[in-house]
Amino acid sequence: MSTIDAPERGAATLAGPAPRILAIAAPYYREVVDGMLRGARRVFDDVTATVEVAEVAGGYELPAALAMALKVPGRWDGFLLLGCVVKGETDHYTFICDAICHGVMDVSTRSGAAIGFGLLTVDTLAQAEARSRDNNMNKGAEAAHAVLGQIALARRWGLAG
């Protein structure tokens, strides 16, 4: 099986004030999620974003935490969700991954919030570790680029400060 390198991305271009980001992290796999958060912080540092981190018990809690955060008006410009689910021997993996993804998509489409979704759904912990290292394959950094792009779009369309 071959590996495809992720594209190199430069610093984001973002008009307006430095963004305020809420990172909601499900650190069940602490080293993996911390690695993704480090990758995201490097991206956010390029635009001098402020980042507040809130932790939840696991990936399943990500959509509800996002919905709760959206009830606090004007505090954050965007939201970064980070977590990891490693496949086990039962169907639990499939049900949890489906529930998280559908839950986040539901909140996202209903709210129109700027969201970067960094949930690793992997077969092995080694796969997760490879996607959380300090290189261009870091999925936390990719999700950070995504949320900054969404913030830029909202600002362009006059939907955010």
Tokens standing for residue 47: 């635009």
CA-CA-CA-CA torsion sign (86, 135, 82, 103): negative
**DSSP code for 70:** T
117 among annotated binding-site residues = yes
Active site residue 92: yes
Catalytic residue among 11, 45, 57, 92: 92
Is 85 annotated as contributing to ligand binding? yes
In whole angstroms, what separates CA 59 from the centre of its chain?
11
Q: Return the sign of the alpha-carbon dihedral for residues 6, 10, 15, 20.
A: positive
Q: Please check if 30 is assigned to a binding site.
A: no
For tokens 């489409």, name the residue: 109
Q: Is 75 annotated as a binding residue?
A: no
- Annotated ligand binding at 86? The verdict is yes
Q: Give CA–CA dist 45/128, Å, rounded.
A: 24
d(CA 34, CA 64): 21
90 is in an annotated binding site: yes
Is 95 a known ligand-binding residue? no
The tokens of 80 are what?
A: 């970064």
Does residue 131 have a known ligand-binding role? yes
- 55 annotated to bind ligand: no
The letter for the amino acid at 87 is K
The annotated binding site is made up of 28, 59-61, 84-86, 89-90, 117, 131
The annotated binding site for (2S)-2-hydroxy-3-oxobutyl phosphate is made up of 89-90, 131
Q: Catalytic residue numbers?
A: 92
The annotated binding site for 5-amino-6-(D-ribitylamino)uracil is made up of 28, 59-61, 84-86, 117
